[in-house]
Structures are given as C-alpha cells and as structure tokens.
A = this chain, B = another copy of it.
Amino acid sequence: MKDPDIGAVARASGLPASTLRYYEEIGLIASSGRKGLRRLFDPGIYERLALISLGRNAGFSLQEIGAMFAQDGNPRIDRAQLHDKADELDRLIRRLRAMRDGLRHAAECPAPSHLECPTFQRLLKAASADMKRGKSKGK
C-alpha cells in the first residue's frame, strides 16, 4: 500500500479534501511528503484522524486537540485532563437528560399551553438559572 494521496484519504475518512488541507494548514495533521505537487500521507493518518474525530466528539476544539499531540506525533494526553473532560461530559449529560425528559413531558403534557404545565415551568426555571450562571459549553 503506497502512501495515500489526499483523494484517497478523503474517500477513506469521509472528510473533504478541503478539510484535510485545512487541518494540515493549522498543524493538526502533516503530510509525509509530496509526489510532484501532490501531498502524500502516511497510513498513520487514519489513526490520527480517528483521534481528532474522537476529540471533536468529546467536545474539544481543534486547538485543544492539537495540544494533545506531542511533537513526535504521538498522543500526549494528560490523564487529569481526561478526567476533567469526563466530568464535564457528565455535567453536560445530566443537563441534556433533564432537557430530554422535559421535552418529552411537554410533548405529552395535557395542559392547554406549555406555559401552564408545572413540569414545563420547572424546565423554564432551570433554563433561566443556567442563563444566569453562564452556560458551560456543550459540544
């Protein structure tokens, strides 16, 4: 298997070539060389892209993700940082669960208007509290 060019990586990863170029531009990935003009990538790119996707799913920004790689290209993930992120996800999940339950309830609630439904009112109260505390960034 020769080193894939950008088209091959794009097809295999599902990411558009423009995104791959962008990722390279911001230093998130690197091409292993050129053949003429064309970038070639090391097959390790797939793992790297998977790591990036993982980070994105967990709600990290591209910057944060970039900071998680050592110069040698290996992940350098601080275990404490992982714990922090897991805790943050926990909080987010709790909020989302409450939201989901509230939505579901509102969808079924027999009150003529959502505004008159006690559960909906509870949701509203929670939402306005969130608003005041400044929302933690969900993904």
- Which residue of chain B is the closest to A137 with respect to CB atoms? B139
Interface of A, secondary structure class, is helix
Residue from the list B49, B85, B90, B114 in contact with A128, Cβ < 8 A: B49
- Which residue of chain B is the closest to A108 with respect to CB atoms? B79
Given A86-B107, A132-B14, residue A113 in contact with residue B57 (CB < 8 A): no
Given A50-B127, A131-B15, A134-B14, residue A82 in contact with residue B106 (CB < 8 A): yes
B47 near A130 with CB under 8 A, answer: no
Asked whether any CB of chain B lies closer than 8 Å to the CB of A22, the reply is no
B77 near A106 with CB under 8 A, answer: yes
A131 near B58 with CB under 8 A, answer: no
